[in-house]
């Protein structure tokens, strides 16, 4: 139904479900292969001399807005690193409910959650046209053995992902609605800044519904929070265009917690 198999060394434009009739050629023939060092740079892994000498190349794949990179239940074959564009990863429960897990952007690795069950256990969908580096898992994992420190670096990438999820859990479990949205905006701003797209003014790649799903809120609550921050002068909002005027104010809203958890009770008991 949806064959992701990419025959060993062959350029494949991933253009199923064209949706709009732009031909593949409409994409500039950017750069379709990455060396191991390129991948490490993307992932912010320090490259050793040994890594720089590796000649194995990894293919780039492109997706259009709305396309699925992989689907729940599909056999796990590869990891992907985002080179350009924005995506969402979601799980769909048996009732058809979508829950968004992350919004991967440049430098993020996706597909990790498929390693253990040997099946992708979430779906990745492109929010904008995007370009990914395709890493066949076996080949990539094998490189960990031949390059000193690369295995630890891969562990690091996975560990980082765990950390990111932990901060989401913390947010969902112990923070009020407005503070979640504020923190989300602060994160996005920081993220766009790192990527070099200007952290102060950017365009959100996702809808209010998607933000709501990610934050455990309804779309209306997200919208209202935006409006509130606008009135307070922290940001400007116009549709998906955001200008951050007061990053500190947003990041500072982390506290203000009325949701899910006991406010200021108990705190800590045992003295260390």
Using CB under 8 A as the criterion, which residues of the chain lie in contact with a second copy when the complex forms? 1-2, 17, 66, 68, 71, 91-93, 95-99, 101, 112-117, 121-122, 141, 144-145, 151-152, 154-163, 165-166, 168-170, 172-174, 209, 212-219, 254-255, 257, 259-262, 264, 266-268, 270, 272
**Strand ranges, E, within the chain:** 33-35, 57-63, 68-70, 78-84, 87-92, 98-102, 109-110, 123-126, 130-136, 201-203, 235-238, 241-244
Contacts (Cβ under 8 Å, ≥6 apart) of 66? 17, 19, 125, 126
Q: Is the separation of the CB atoms in 180 and 171 below 8 Å?
A: yes
Residue 213 neighbours by CB under 8 Å, 6+ apart: 90, 98, 99, 100
Min dist CB 261 to DNA, Å, is 6
Q: Is 10 in the site for DNA (CB under 7 A)?
A: no
178 touches DNA (CB under 7 A): yes
Q: Which entry of a second copy, DNA, none binds 207, CB below 5 to 8 A by partner kind?
A: DNA
SS3 label, residue 257? coil
Q: Which is nearer to a second copy, 233 or 258 (CB)?
A: 258
CB-wise, 152 or 261, nearer to DNA?
261
Residues 103, 91: Cα–Cα separation, whole Å: 13
Which range of residues in 39-47, 75-83, 143-151, 172-180 is near DNA by CB under 7 A? Answer: 172-180
List the single partner that 113 binds among a second copy, DNA, none, CB under 5 to 8 Å by kind: a second copy
Closest CA to 90 of 112, 67, 122: 122
User: In the complex, which residues of this chain contact DNA (CB under 7 A)?
Assistant: 20, 176-178, 207-209, 216-224, 226-227, 237, 239-240, 257-263, 266, 269
């Amino acid at each position: 139904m949806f064959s992701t198999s990419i025959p060993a060394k062959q350029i494949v434009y991933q253009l199923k479900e064209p949706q709009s009739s732009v031909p593949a050629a409409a994409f500039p023939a950017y750069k379709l292969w990455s060396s191991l060092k390129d991948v490490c740079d993307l992932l912010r892994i320090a490259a050793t001399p040994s890594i720089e000498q590796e000649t194995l190349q990894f293919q780039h794949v492109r997706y259009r807005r709305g396309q699925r990179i992989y689907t729940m239940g599909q056999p796990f074959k590869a990891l992907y690193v985002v080179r350009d564009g924005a995506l969402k990863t979601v799980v769909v429960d048996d009732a058809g409910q979508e829950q968004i897990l992350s919004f991967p952007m440049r430098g993020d690795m996706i597909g990790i959650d498929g390693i253990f069950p040997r099946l992708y256990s979430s779906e990745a969908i492109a929010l904008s046209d995007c370009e990914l580096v395709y890493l066949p898992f076996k080949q990539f994992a094998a490189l960990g053995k031949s390059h000193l420190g690369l295995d630890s670096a891969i562990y690091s990438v996975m560990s980082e992902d765990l950390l990111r999820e932990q901060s989401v859990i913390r947010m969902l479990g112990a923070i009020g609605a407005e503070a979640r949205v504020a923190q989300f905006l602060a994160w996005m701003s920081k993220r766009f800044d790192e990527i070099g797209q200007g952290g102060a003014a950017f365009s959100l790649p996702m809808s209010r519904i998607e933000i709501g799903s990610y934050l455990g809120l309804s779309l209306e609550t997200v919208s209202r929070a935006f409006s509130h921050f606008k009135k307070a002068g922290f940001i400007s909002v116009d549709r998906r265009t955001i200008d951050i005027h007061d990053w500190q104010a947003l990041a500072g809203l982390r506290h203000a917690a009325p949701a899910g958890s006991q406010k200021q009770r108990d705190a800590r008991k045992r003295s260390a």
